[in-house]
């Protein structure tokens, strides 16, 4: 695993942050963890739409540390492993779960699924199944924010795999060139499918590349949600002032790439070591050490479990989309829908 390298002097984690302020971050991370576990359960129960489900377990520090720094009006894009980020930004887990089940009540009415969740009301410009595909949109959103002086920031979240896609460099260059309120967030879980980061690049100090384009750039340890939050506040704060930035967050992909991948390309030792870097249990241990009662945390965990169980129930109870809804939203609502193949065939073959 690469050691997190910091660019420039970064203030140490403020260990003095009082427990009451840390508790919400813990709760948010627990929500992400439990949600993802329930996504796994949805799959096992045969209720998910397909098996291309990429869990963000191990990445809760990144999702919550950055997700909670966004404000109303800010926009963001995510990648195929973006459930946690969206949840931390305020998503309704029931509508997320329903989307993952391909149901009508989901955020995208069952058309998008796990890899294509979006919600314009929360500024979520969309998750993406094309590695790197969502990155340049934040340059466009940043351009608009600056032009309209809205004070909004636009953030692109992506994995370390996207660091090898050319589109990232075109986007970073333009964001820097035009001083846009844009942040690039690389969730570096060390793996892209079966390829470890050092098998994909020689330049594993990822923030250095962004710095070379003139972005404010840091790497932070994702196991420590407070450190992530502090770094995110610096970088996002500067971006809001027109100084675009980049944040790499080191963490570990706890499980396989997608539901069916058992990661045969990693050793058990590596996985055990990686899973020790657990942002959720670390936050919990810290809270306990600071004197928060265990029962309080247990109660919180149970509340979260109940919330996420309800999300599963909601998804399963929800209806499939109506078949003819598939012709909707190809174009704007006032435009004619494409003619169904069957209708056209009947028209062509109609005989007197």
Partner 1 sequence: MPMLTYREALNRAHAEALRADDDVFVIGEEVGRYGGAYGVTKGLIEEFGPDRLIDTPISEPAIVGTAVGAAMAGMRPIAELMYVDFLGMAMDQLCNQAAKIRYMFGGQIGVPMVLRTQGGTGRSAGAQHSQSLEAYVMHTPGLRLCMPATVYDAYHLLRQALEQPDPVVFIEHKGLYALREEVDLDEPPPAWGEAVVRREGRDGVLVAYSRVVHHAMAAAETLAGQGIEVSVIDLRTLNPLDFATVRREVEKTGKAMVVSEGPMTAGVGAELAARISEECFDFLEDPVVRVTGEDIPISVSVELEKGSVPGAELIEETARKLLA
Ligand X SMILES: Cc1ncc(C[n+]2csc(CCOP(=O)(O)OP(=O)(O)O)c2C)c(N)n1
Query: Which residues of the shown chain bind ligand X in the complex (CB under 6 A)?
Result: 54, 80-81, 129-131, 159-162, 189, 191-193, 253, 257
The least distance separating partner 1 from the CB of residue 94, rounded to whole angstroms, comes to 17
| Of 69, 123, 16, 79, residue with least CA distance to 245 | 69
Can you tell me the distance from the alpha carbon of 284 to that of 328, in angstroms, rounded to the nearest whole number?
46
Query: Which residues, in sequence order, are bridge partners of residue 186?
Result: 158, 248
Closest distance between ligand X and the C-beta of residue 143, in Å? Answer: 24
Specify whether the CB–CB gap between 60 and 280 falls below 8 A.
yes
β-pairing, 195-196 with 191-192?
A: antiparallel
Which residue is nearest to ligand X, using beta carbons?
159
Q: Which is nearer to partner 1, 111 or 240 (CB)?
A: 111
User: In the complex with ligand X, which residue's Cβ is closer, 26 or 43?
Assistant: 43
For partner 1, what does the binding mask look like between residues 249 and 288, x meaning CB under 8 A? ----------------x-----------------------
Q: Is 346 near partner 1 (CB under 8 A)? A: yes
Q: How far apart are CA 198 and CA 201, in angstroms?
A: 5
Cα–Cα separations (whole angstroms), residue 124 to 72, 254, 305: 11, 25, 25
* DSSP for 255-309, written as a single string: S-SSTT---TTS-HHHHHHHHHS-HHHHHHHHHHHTT--HHHHHHHHHHHHHHHH
- Residues 50-89, mask of contacts with partner 1 (x by CB under 8 A): xxx-------------------------------------
Rule CB under 8 A: say whether 332 interacts with partner 1.
no
Q: How far, in Å, CA of 248 to CA of 255, rounded?
A: 20
If contact means CB under 5 to 8 A according to the sort of partner, which of partner 1, ligand X, none does residue 54 touch? ligand X
Total residues binding partner 1 (CB under 8 A): 49
Q: How far is the CB of 208 from ligand X (least distance, A)?
A: 18
As measured in angstroms, the least distance from the Cβ of 178 to ligand X is: 26
The per-residue DSSP string of 137-192 comes to HHHHHHHHHHHTT----EEEEEEGGGGG-HHHHHHHHHHHHTT-SEEEEEEE-SEE
Distance CA 248, CA 159 (A): 9
Using CA atoms, how far apart are residues 321 and 38, in angstroms rounded to an integer?
A: 22
Binding span for partner 1 by CB under 8 A among 6-14, 270-278, 305-313, 336-344? 336-344
Residue 327 binding partner 1, by CB under 8 A: yes
The contact pattern for partner 1, residues 87-126, with x = CB under 8 A and - = no contact, is ---------------xx------xxxxxxx----------
Interacting residues with partner 1 (CB under 8 A): 49-52, 102-103, 110-116, 128-133, 161-162, 164-166, 192-195, 199-201, 265, 320-321, 323, 325-327, 330, 338-342, 344-346, 348-349
């Amino acid at each position: 695993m690469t050691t997190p390298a910091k660019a420039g002097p970064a203030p140490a984690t403020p260990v003095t942050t009082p427990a009451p302020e840390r508790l919400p971050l813990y709760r948010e991370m627990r929500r992400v963890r439990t949600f993802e576990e329930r996504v796994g359960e949805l799959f096992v129960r045969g209720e998910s739409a397909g098996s291309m489900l990429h869990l963000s377990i191990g990445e809760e520090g990144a999702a919550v540390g950055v997700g909670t720094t966004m404000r109303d009006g800010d926009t963001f894009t995510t990648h195929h492993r973006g459930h946690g980020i969206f949840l931390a930004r305020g998503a309704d887990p029931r509508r997320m779960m329903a989307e993952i089940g391909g149901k009508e009540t989901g955020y995208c009415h069952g058309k998008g699924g796990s890899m294509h969740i979006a919600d314009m009301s929360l500024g979520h410009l969309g998750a993406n199944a094309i590695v790197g595909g969502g990155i340049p949109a934040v340059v466009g959103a940043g351009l608009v924010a600056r032009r309209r002086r809205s004070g909004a920031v636009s953030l692109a979240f992506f994995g370390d795999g996207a660091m090898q896609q050319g589109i990232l460099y075109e986007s970073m260059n333009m964001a820097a060139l035009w001083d846009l309120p844009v942040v690039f967030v690389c969730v570096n879980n060390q793996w892209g499918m079966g390829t470890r980061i050092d098998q994909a690049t020689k330049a594993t100090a990822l923030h250095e590349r962004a710095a070379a384009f003139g972005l404010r750039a840091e790497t932070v340890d994702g196991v420590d949600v407070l450190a992530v939050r502090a770094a995110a506040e610096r970088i996002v704060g500067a971006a809001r002032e027109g100084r675009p930035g980049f944040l790499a967050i080191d963490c570990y992909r706890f499980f396989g790439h997608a539901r069916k991948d058992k990661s045969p390309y990693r050793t058990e030792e590596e996985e055990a070591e990686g899973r020790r870097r657990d942002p959720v249990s670390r936050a919990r241990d810290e809270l306990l050490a600071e004197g928060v009662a265990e029962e309080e945390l247990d109660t919180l965990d149970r509340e979260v479990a109940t919330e996420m169980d309800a999300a599963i129930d909601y998804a399963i109870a929800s209806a499939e989309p109506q078949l003819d809804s598939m012709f909707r939203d190809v174009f704007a609502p006032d435009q004619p829908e494409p003619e169904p193949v069957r209708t056209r065939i009947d028209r062509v073959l109609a005989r007197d």
